[in-house]
Amino acid sequence: MTTEQVVVDREGFRKASRAGVIAAIWIAVLTLIEFLVFHLFEYDWFLTLALLPFVIAKGWIILDAFMHIRALWGGDH
Partner 1 sequence: MTAETVHAEYHQDTTFQPRANRLGLWMFIFSECFLFAAFLSARYFTTGTYRPEELNQLLALGITGILLASSISAFMAETSMKFNQRKKFVIFSSMTIVLGLIFMGGVVLELYEATLHYPPSTPYGSSYFMLIGLHAFHVITGLIGVSIVTVLGARGYFGSTNYWGVEGVMKYWHFVDLAWVLIYPTLYLF
Counting residues that bind partner 1 (by CB under 8 A) gives: 31
Q: Is 17 in the site for partner 1 (CB under 8 A)?
A: yes
Measuring CA to CA, how many Å separate 12 from each of 6, 65, 75? 10, 16, 18
What is the footprint of partner 1 within residues 24-43 (CB under 8 A)?
Answer: 24, 27-28, 31, 34-35, 38
Name which position in 4, 46, 48, 73 contacts partner 1 (CB under 8 A). 48
Q: How many helices (H) and strands (E) does the chain have?
A: 2, 0
Contact residues for 28 (Cβ-Cβ < 8 A; gap 6+): none
Name which position in 2, 4, 46, 72 contacts partner 1 (CB under 8 A). 72
